[in-house]
């Protein structure tokens, strides 16, 4: 039984035995919600649509030319049918009226003379009300069924299976929020093919029903039968309730995920901030998320370049929201990238940075430094290819005890700070253990005495390069990077060995020091590194 009463349902009532359909038989499934009496040819201002119109026929006896026009108006105003007592005033339905009613599929019913209007009105209204009551009861049962599924956390699959049983349809739900498909129990040969299709192609090929609220779309119910699916009143009732159930289920999942992520973030944050004083607490809290910190560990910090500077430039909320949204996207890109390597990535997000805890294992133990360097470089490449910002990645040193994770985190932060000085603030991967003397120089490089020191050592070379457009400082840096080996330096700079020897001799003259002496080499090395940090 549908959840709306039709003209056909009314005529099937035993109390209306003897009533005859005399025109518009194809419209007997029109919905009926009420009944009214027409004693004038223009009752339309007082009607609401979906009504049976009762008429004695007298108005058409005195206005026969209005009969066809009235049938058209009844149809246009959404009336369900005309119940008329032909035997009293008209006797025979005019042919043009029958033709119009048949054309419009508008039912005209001949009511026997013995029926008073009250004999039609009361039973019809009782039938309509009973039917509506039954429909409301059924609707409530469906609503309670779906609500209990959500309350009991039975999940999306159960919702779809129940809907499939109610509609007697093979269907699938495409979850846009979590990018997942749920097929009903009656999986058919389309199952594997559907999994390979994108949502646009699916919506073009199959009948569907949108799940959402206002302008936000959560997903689509896809009807998989090849003949398609017509959403009648019964189906619409079930689908409206499943719409609510799915939205509640998704919101519950999102809320649960947010709570879990907040607690996980708090734990990782406590770990890197040294807020946990006992290893047993770490072990206990880590076990909740299935994490094992028994091996060596290091901190990896990904910091978005120039984010704070851009933030301070903004003057309106719309621009700030847009920038913050971009930051969220970049951090999510980091998470997605790391999950390719680590199924259960340990991380904590901040406004413009994210911290990952990298564990040493059998796969990367033999060459961990090169492993994390490549990891950082690859991640930076992904960020710069997808977003308008770049990022600097810093790694702390490996700690064998999880209680020292905070030290690795501090080192990773320091790596980024020093890297911002060395690399002028952009797009670099820095390992704390590879910083060497820069770790010491960073603490003193802004001191005025430090500045005087490097200028005393390098002023001759700097002046020569400026006056003669030479590359002596670049040559000196290359020599230092090659551990003072002139042959290797010549190869790196693609110059002849004799040219390198000439430049080296000139450098020794300009620094006014014996570079065969160890102490002299150290002084020049420090001066060059300080210059690189200032420049």
Q: What string of H, E and C letters represents the secondary structure of 440-460?
A: HHCCCCCCHHHHHHHHHHHHH
Q: 124: number of CA atoms within 13 Å, CB side?
A: 28
Q: For residue 372, what are the β-bridge partners?
A: none
Query: What spatial distance separates the first Cα and last Cα of the chain, rounded to whole Å?
Result: 84
Residue 109 confidence (pLDDT): 94
Angle 74-76-79 from CA coordinates, rounded to 5°:
45
Least confident window among 202-216, 222-236, 451-465: 222-236
Percent of the chain with pLDDT over 70: 93
Q: Give the other-Cβ count within 10 Å of 249's Cβ.
A: 22
Sequence-distant (≥ 6) Cβ neighbours of residue 52 within 8 angstroms = 7, 10, 32, 34, 35, 36, 79, 80, 81, 83, 120, 124
Residue 1 has pLDDT above 50, yes or no: no
Per-residue model confidence as pLDDT tens digits over 133-153: 776 776 777 888 888 888 888
Contact 95, 68 (CB under 8 A): no
Nearest to 391 by CA among 444, 441, 326, 343: 326
Pairing of strands 81-84, 51-55: parallel
Burial class (CB in 10 A: 0-12, 13-18, 19+), 410: middle
Per-residue model confidence as pLDDT tens digits over 73-131: 999 999 999 999 988 888 889 999 999 999 999 999 999 988 988 999 999 998 888 87
Structure-token pair, residue 60:
């058409």
Contact 218, 211 (CB under 8 A): yes
**Helix, strand or coil, per DSSP, at residue 346:** coil
Alpha-carbon span 298 to 117, nearest angstrom: 89
Contact 99, 20 (CB under 8 A): no
Nearest to 117 by CA among 35, 8, 58, 20: 35
Nearest to 521 by CA among 488, 490, 494, 482: 482
Structure-token pair, residue 467:
């006056």
Residue 513 confidence (pLDDT): 77
The residue-averaged pLDDT of 10-30 equals 93
Nearest to 302 by CA among 323, 320, 327, 326: 327
**Helix, strand or coil, per DSSP, at residue 435:** coil
**Helix, strand or coil, per DSSP, at residue 292:** coil
Per-residue model confidence as pLDDT tens digits over 494-511: 999 999 999 999 998 898
Chain centroid to CA 354: 20
Note if the pTM is more than 0.75.
no
Residue 43 confidence (pLDDT): 66
Question: Which three-class secondary structure string do you get for 356-393?
Answer: EEEECCCCCCCCHHHHHHHHHHHHHHHHHHHCCCCEEE
| Position with higher pLDDT, 112 vs 195 | 112
Q: For residue 356, what are the β-bridge partners?
A: 300, 347
Residue 190 confidence (pLDDT): 67
């Amino acid at each position: 039984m549908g959840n709306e009463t039709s003209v056909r349902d009314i005529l099937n009532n035993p109390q209306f035995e003897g009533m005859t359909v005399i025109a518009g038989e194809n419209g007997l499934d029109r919905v009926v919600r009420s009944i009214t009496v027409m004693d004038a040819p223009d009752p339309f201002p007082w009607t609401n649509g979906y009504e049976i119109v009762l008429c004695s026929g007298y108005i058409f006896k005195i206005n026969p030319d209005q009969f066809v026009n009235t049938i058209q108006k009844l149809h246009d105003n959404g009336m369900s049918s005309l119940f008329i007592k032909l035997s009293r005033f008209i006797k025979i339905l005019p042919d043009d009226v029958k033709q119009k009613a048949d054309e419009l599929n508008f039912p005209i019913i001949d009511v026997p003379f013995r029926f008073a209007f009250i004999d039609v009105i009361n039973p019809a209204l009782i039938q309509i009300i009973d039917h509506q009551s039954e429909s409301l009861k059924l609707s409530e049962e469906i609503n309670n069924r779906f609500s209990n599924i959500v309350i009991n956390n039975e999940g999306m699959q159960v919702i779809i299976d129940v809907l499939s049983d109610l509609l007697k349809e093979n269907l699938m739900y495409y979850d846009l929020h979590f990018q997942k498909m749920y097929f009903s129990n009656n999986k058919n040969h389309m199952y594997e093919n559907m999994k390979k299709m994108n949502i646009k192609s699916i919506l073009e090929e199959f009948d569907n029903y949108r799940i959402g609220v206002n302008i936000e779309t959560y997903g689509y119910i896809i009807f998989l039968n090849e003949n398609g699916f017509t959403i009648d009143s019964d189906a619409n009732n079930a689908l409206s309730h499943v719409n609510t159930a799915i939205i509640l289920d998704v919101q519950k999942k999102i809320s649960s995920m947010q709570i879990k992520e907040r607690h996980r973030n708090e734990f990782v944050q406590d770990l890197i901030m040294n807020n946990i004083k006992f290893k047993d607490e770490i072990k206990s809290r880590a076990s909740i998320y299935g994490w094992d910190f028994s091996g060596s560990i290091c901190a990896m910090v990904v910091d978005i370049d120039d984010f704070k500077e851009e933030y301070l430039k903004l003057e309106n909320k719309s621009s700030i929201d847009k920038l913050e949204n971009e930051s969220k996207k970049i951090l999510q890109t980091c998470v997605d990238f790391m999950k390719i390597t680590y199924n259960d990535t340990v991380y904590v997000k901040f406004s413009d940075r994210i911290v990952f805890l990298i564990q040493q294992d059998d796969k990367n133990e033999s060459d961990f430094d090169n492993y994390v360097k490549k990891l950082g470089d690859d991640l930076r490449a992904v960020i710069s290819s997808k977003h308008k910002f770049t990022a600097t990645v810093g790694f702390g040193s490996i700690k064998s005890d999880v209680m020292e994770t905070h030290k690795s985190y501090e080192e990773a932060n320091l790596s980024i700070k020093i890297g911002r000085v060395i690399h002028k603030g952009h797009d670099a991967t820095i390992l704390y253990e590879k910083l060497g003397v820069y770790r010491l120089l960073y603490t003193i490089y802004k001191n005025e005495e430090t500045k005087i020191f490097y200028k005393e050592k390098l002023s001759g070379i700097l002046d020569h390069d400026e006056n003669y457009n030479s590359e002596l400082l670049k040559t000196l840096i290359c020599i230092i990077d090659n551990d003072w080996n002139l042959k290797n330096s010549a190869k790196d700079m693609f110059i002849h060995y004799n040219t390198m020897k000439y430049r080296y001799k000139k450098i020794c003259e300009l620094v006014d020091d014996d570079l065969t002496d160890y102490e002299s080499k150290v002084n020049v090395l420090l001066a060059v590194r300080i210059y690189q940090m200032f420049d």
